[in-house]
Structure 1
Amino acid sequence: MPDQPDTHVRTVSDRVARIHWSPELSERGWQAAVDVVRRDVAAALVDHDRVEALVAVDDAQSHRIATWSGLRREGVQRGVDGDRVVYARLVDDVPVHEPHGFRALLNSFLPRKRAISQMLIRDTSPEPRVLLCQLTYKTDWDLPGGVVEVGESPQLAVAREVEEELGLEIAAGQLVLTDWLPPWGGWDDALCLVFDGGTHDPSLVGRIVPQAREIRSAEFCTLAEVDERAADFSARRIRSALANLGGGPAYTESGR
């Protein structure tokens, strides 16, 4: 009986192939396996525009083989029989031995963090007050801001969010606080960057045009009202940001 091949390549749709390798190939060691998979991927790209591999999330050795064979990580395909990480190489991808191609390969699998930008806007009242938003999608109030888009400056992102959500044109000042948010309630961890939005007359709230889809209202709130309306970690973040005004960027974890 002939030996089974170490890899199997089949066409799964128009000009798209999928490669699978045996556990025996993985057992030879990742470097030897990489040579085989890289060769077969290159051969498949002669007649296909895309070659992909689906790797079980807990198969560390196969993840290494896929990566160093030049397959870029694209995401996770969920399934009732287990999740799979999707790797692929396109016929026009820059070769891995070229600097741009190698950087693109690394960029596909190195960790990424979600970034959130918020703005600390105060008014001129004798007692410290900060602008808080009452949100449509959660019960607790929060600073204005939002998620930073891919390739977007966090400083410009928060000014964009304030304009989109509140109709206010306020340039973001210096970075006041970097707050790390641990995984929570179905969210991955994230970095929250708080920028100084300056001090304004209390009449600022009269110019607010809330984006109805996300914002119910916005008010200047005392620290006691912040503690009452905001989540505990948000209240801690606001107090830390206020305490650091003018002191240069600071770092906290969940506001601590």
Structure 2
Amino acid sequence: MAQARVAAGVLFFDEAGRVLLVKPTYKAGWEIPGGYLHPGETPSECAAREVEEELAIKPAVGPLLVADWAPNPGEGDKLLFVFDGGQLSRADKEAVTPDGIEISTWAYHDRSQLESLLIPRLARRVLAALDHRGHGGAQYLEHGTAWNGGAPATEITTPQS
């Protein structure tokens, strides 16, 4: 039986529709706020906890946008959830404080910048979530690609993909 690692993240937006990304201290590149679930924790609880830990804010975690089955040869089976956090309130934006341990800074970025800022597998997942946003319900992905039955999505075998 599969024993997947499960993680959850949240997409937050500014008035212009740009996506909030965080800069981890422990690796190159940018990420979305989020992280791995603790035992007994639901994906939405994890997303809310991680946002509070990383950015010191407690905004509501909105609906699920995508669930992505994305095993990685170097890291094993993964199931990754991305929730819609909507637009942060003025108070939350003013209160954002990176923890300085895991996250050094944060910034909003245009959709056109995401592929150059995020690793490919995360970029595919975030872009799919953006495309699905506002359509209702959640979309199922495999390796960041929509799967609607039939043949499974192409397996990605490179560690950075």
TM-superposed deviation, 1:168: 1.1
Q: Greater relative contact order (Cα 8 A, min sep 6): structure 1 or 2?
A: 2
Q: Secondary structure at the match of 2:38?
A: coil
- Per-residue CA deviations over 1:196-236 (Å, capped at 9, x if unaligned) read 10113578544211111110101111112212211112111
Which whole-Å CA distance do the structure 2 matches of 1:223 and 1:207 have between them? 24
Aligned Cα root-mean-square deviation (Å): 1.7
For residues 202 and 238 of structure 1, the distance between their equivalents in structure 2, rounded to whole angstroms, comes to 24
Corresponding position of 1:187: 75
With over 3 angstroms needed to count, the CA separation of the structure-2 counterparts of 1:134 and 1:198, relative to structure 1, is same
For residue 116 of structure 1, what is the aligned residue in structure 2?
A: 7
Q: Distance in 2 between matches of 1:156 and 1:200?
A: 18
Superposition pairs of residues 67-146 of structure 1, within 5 angstroms: 110-125=1-16, 128-146=17-35
In structure 2, distance between residues paired with 1:243 and 1:229: 18
CA separation in 2, counterparts of 1:203 and 1:225? 26
Residue in 2 aligned with 1:233? 121
Runs of 4 or more consecutive aligned structure 1 residues displaced over 3 Å after TM superposition: 201-206
Q: Deviations over 1:166-215 (max 9, x none)?
A: 0011121111100121224x211201100110113578544211111110
Report 1:178-217 matches (<5 A).
178-184=67-73, 186-200=74-88, 204-217=92-105
| Alignment TM-score, normalising by the size of structure 1 | 0.53
Q: Which amino acid aligns with 2:20?
A: L
Match of 1:170 in 2: 59
- Give the drift of 1:251: 1.1
- Report matched runs for 1:1-20 at 5 Å: none
Percent identity over the alignment?
Answer: 36
Partners of 2:111 and 2:90 lie apart in 1 by 16
Q: TM-score, with normalisation over the residues of structure 2?
A: 0.82
Alignment check: 8 A CA contact 1:205 1:219 kept: no
SS at match of 1:193: strand
Counterpart-to-counterpart distance in 2, 1:252 and 1:198: 21
Contact preservation (8 Å) 1:134, 1:218: yes
Q: Gaps spanning 5+ residues in structure 1: where?
A: 1-109
Offset of residue 254 of structure 1 = 2.0
CA contact (8 A) 2:70 2:142 kept: yes
1:134-185 deviation digits (Å, cap 9, x = unpaired): 111111111100001111111111001000110011121111100121224x
Q: Does the aligned pair in 2 maintain the 1:202–1:220 contact within 8 Å?
A: no
Larger Rg: 1
* Separation of aligned partners in 2, 1:202 and 1:226: 24
Q: State whether residues 59 and 92 of structure 2, in contact with CA within 8 Å, keep that contact through their aligned partners in structure 1.
A: no
